C-alpha cells in the first residue's frame, strides 16, 4: 500500500457519491485512515466469508466479484473505476459476500469500515448515498436477469 497526501485522499473520496456525501470532517477523518493499495491480476483483494473490515473505491483498473458454485467460478459483477467494492458486506455488517479478484492492474482506495460506519450513523446524506448505490446495483442486476443477459457486460 502506498501513502498518499491527505489532500489527494480527500479529493479521491469527494469524487465518490458515498464519500462525497460525508461532512468535511467525516471525510477528513476517513482520509487520515484510508490507504491506496495496488493490485495486479489475478491478485485477490479478499475472499468470500472473511470479515469485512474495509470498503473499497476503485480508482483505476478492473476487478471481478465472484462466487464459487459447484466447482466453478461465477462472475457476479465487474467493478470499474469510480465504483465501490465491498459495500454489500459493509451495509449488512456481515462478512464479504464474494471473492474479489483483480482483472487488470488496479488502484483501490481502502477505507476502514468501522470509521465509515460511525460516520454514517451521524450523517443522513451519506446514508442516502449508500442506499442509492445499493439500489442502483439491484436494478442493474434485476434488468440483467429479466433480459436474460449477463449482468457483468
Instruction: Give per-residue pLDDT as tens, 54-67.
Output: 999 999 999 999 99
SS3 content of the chain, % helix, strand, coil (to 5): 40, 35, 25
Query: Residue 48 — pLDDT band, cuts 50, 70, 90?
Result: very high
Share of the chain above pLDDT 90, in %: 37
Who contacts 136 (Cβ-Cβ below 8 Å, separation ≥6)? none
Integer angstrom CA distances of residue 27 from 61, 130, 132: 24, 15, 19
Amino acid at each position: 500500500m502506498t501513502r498518499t497526501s491527505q489532500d489527494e485522499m480527500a479529493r479521491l473520496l469527494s469524487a465518490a457519491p458515498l464519500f462525497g456525501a460525508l461532512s468535511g470532517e467525516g471525510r477528513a477523518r476517513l482520509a487520515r485512515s484510508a490507504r491506496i493499495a495496488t493490485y495486479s491480476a489475478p491478485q485477490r483483494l479478499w475472499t468470500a466469508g472473511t470479515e469485512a473490515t474495509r470498503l473499497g473505491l476503485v480508482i483505476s483498473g478492473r476487478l471481478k466479484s465472484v462466487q464459487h458454485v459447484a466447482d466453478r467460478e461465477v462472475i457476479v459483477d465487474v467493478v470499474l473505476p469510480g465504483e465501490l467494492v465491498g459495500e454489500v458486506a459493509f451495509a449488512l455488517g456481515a462478512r464479504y459476500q464474494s471473492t474479489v479478484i483483480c482483472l487488470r492492474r488496479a488502484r483501490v482506495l481502502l477505507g476502514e469500515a468501522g470509521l465509515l460506519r460511525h460516520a454514517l450513523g451521524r450523517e443522513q446524506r451519506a446514508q442516502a448515498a449508500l442506499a442509492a448505490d445499493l439500489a442502483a446495483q439491484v436494478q442493474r442486476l434485476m434488468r440483467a436477469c429479466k433480459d436474460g443477459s449477463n449482468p457483468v457486460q
